[in-house]
Amino acid sequence: MSEENKDFSGGNTSAKIRRFGEFLVEKGLISEEERDDALAIQTAINLRLGILANTQEIITTGQIFDILEYQRESGEKFGEVAKHLNLIDENQLYEILQSQEDLRMKVGEILVGLMYLKKEEMEAALEQFVREIGGK
């Protein structure tokens, strides 16, 4: 699963904490294929940092390509490269990351939209998931 996929966990997760999609599969609420469908959709529709920065007129399209080229060589995250190249500052990066999170479609929402889960089932499972990860 992708790093962007925090699946309702509310922030960074440790290796011990399962992702919400995995939790749903383990509980028999969805199949692995249904989870994978939702993750593929999530990856396809959620906005990349560079696109958000560009639409907010913080960086140009040309600068995106400069960042991506540097990123391929360095292995650093997009935002860190943009800061390193002095194309954005810490506050701009924070704002872009916040926008990205606000616009991010969650796996549970996608599963409901695909009708793999009813909204009530997803919400009940999410409550159980949060209780379980809170106890670890």
Locate the domains of the chain by residue range. 16-46+107-130, 47-104
In contact, 85 and 70? CB cutoff 8 Å: yes
Reading the chain (136 residues) residue by residue, the pLDDT tens digits are: 333 333 333 343 333 346 899 999 999 999 999 999 999 999 899 899 999 999 999 999 999 999 999 999 999 999 999 999 999 999 999 999 999 999 999 999 999 999 999 999 999 999 999 998 876 5
Which DSSP symbol is given to 11?
A: S
State the Rg of the chain over Cα. Answer: 17
* Per-position b or e across 103-113, b if 16+ CB within 10 A of its CB: eeebbbbbbbe
pTM of the model: 0.68
Identity of the amino acid at 2: S
d(CA 77, CA 83): 10
DSSP 8-state symbol, 56: T
